[in-house]
Amino acid sequence: AQTVTQSQPEMSVQEAETVTLSCTYDTSESDYYLFWYKQPPSRQMILVIRQEAYKQQNATENRFSVNFQKAAKSFSLKISDSQLGDAAMYFCALMDSSYKLIFGSGTRLLVRP
Amino acid sequence: DVKVTQSSRYLVKRTGEKVFLECVQDMDHENMFWYRQDPGLGLRLIYFSYDVKMKEKGDIPEGYSVSREKKERFSLILESASTNQTSMYLCASSLGGAVDEQFFGPGTRLTVL
């Protein structure tokens, strides 16, 4: 069975600082995709970043980047220059060829002004 | 922009009632999904559909059914609501035929008394 684990229920970061959210996963598939989703207090879930497992290069989207360690099955999210608007629940998710997403339990990110 | 809408943001029902949660997407997506979100558990897949009149069980289908009579609409049905179905319900959609991000609705907070 595929699993996604987020071991940090809550993280806190000072505005303008950098924070890293951890995610590990387990799958027997060779072809899969990894996602980080953000859920602000308004509840609309939005995609932050995605990573194809066959790509060695880590994905980057502006202030958001990932550290993808395929052998270790690790997929962490780094947020640089944190902003108040980054405060949200962050979910790591795994997708295989069935197009279904398997989510982790989430990490609540608090941003201190 | 892709828009996924859900019929209600908040819903209160009584035990034993039949409950309908509606989801509509406006981007001609083939795939549609229903999740429930509970604290500490992340999002868990209830049912999904790859096409009109098609449905597949997810990880927690017990107590739920779905209907997809039109491509843009995917309904979640609780035949006889129970208190353990009190939760946040999220609908999502994605393009068919390829791995792609899922676009989420705002969610319905269902309380069963």
Task: Report chain B's C-alpha Rg in angstroms.
Answer: 13
Q: Which of A9, A18, A11, A24 is nearest to A92 (CA)?
A: A24
Share of chain A above pLDDT 90, in %: 81
Which residues in chain B touch residue A54, judged by CB atoms under 8 angstroms apart? none
Give dist(CA B18, CA B106) in Å, integer: 22
How many CA atoms are closer than 13 Å to the CA of B63, on its beta-carbon side? Answer: 14
Q: How much of chain A exceeds pLDDT 70, in percent?
A: 100
pLDDT of A30: 85
**Residues paired with residue A37 on neighbouring β-strands, in sequence order:** A47, A91
Per-residue model confidence as pLDDT tens digits over B29-72: 999 999 999 998 999 999 999 999 889 999 999 999 999 999 99
At A1, is the pLDDT very low, low, confident or very high (cuts 50, 70, 90)?
confident
- Angle formed at CA B61 by CA B53 and CA B7, multiple of 5 degrees: 65
Could you list the beta-strand ranges (E) of A33-113: 33-39, 46-52, 60-61, 64-69, 74-79, 88-95, 101-103, 107-112
Please name every residue paired with A53 in a beta bridge, in sequence order, or none if there are none. Answer: none
Which chain A residues in 24-83 lie under 8 Å from chain B, judged by CB atoms?
33, 35, 37, 42-47, 50
Nearest to A45 among B44, B48, B104 (CB): B104
- The rounded distance, in Å, linking the Cα atoms of B111 and B13 is 6
Which one-letter DSSP state was computed for residue A85? Answer: G
Confidence class for position B98, pLDDT limits 50, 70, 90: low
Please name the member of A46, A91, A95 whose beta carbon is closest to the beta carbon of B43. A91
Mutation site, A43, A52, A95, A102, interface B, largest B CB count within 10 A: A43
The minimal CB distance from A35 to the residues B31, B101, B106 is found for: B101
- Judging contacts by C-beta atoms under 8 Å, the chain A residues touching residue B99 are 33, 95, 97, 99
pLDDT, tens digit, for every residue of A20-72?
999 999 998 888 999 999 999 877 899 999 999 988 899 999 999 999 999 99
Q: Is the predicted pLDDT of residue B97 greater than 90, yes or no?
A: no
**CA separation, residue A53 to residues A1, A22, A49, A71, B71 (Å):** 18, 17, 13, 11, 31
The pLDDT, as a whole number, for residue B2 is 65
A34/A53 Cα distance (integer angstroms):
7
List the structure tokens of B108: 């319905």
Residue B79, classed as helix, strand or coil, is: coil
- Other residues' Cβ atoms within 10 Å of the Cβ of residue B84: 8
Among candidate residues B81, B83, B84, B90, the one with its CA nearest the CA of residue B109: B90
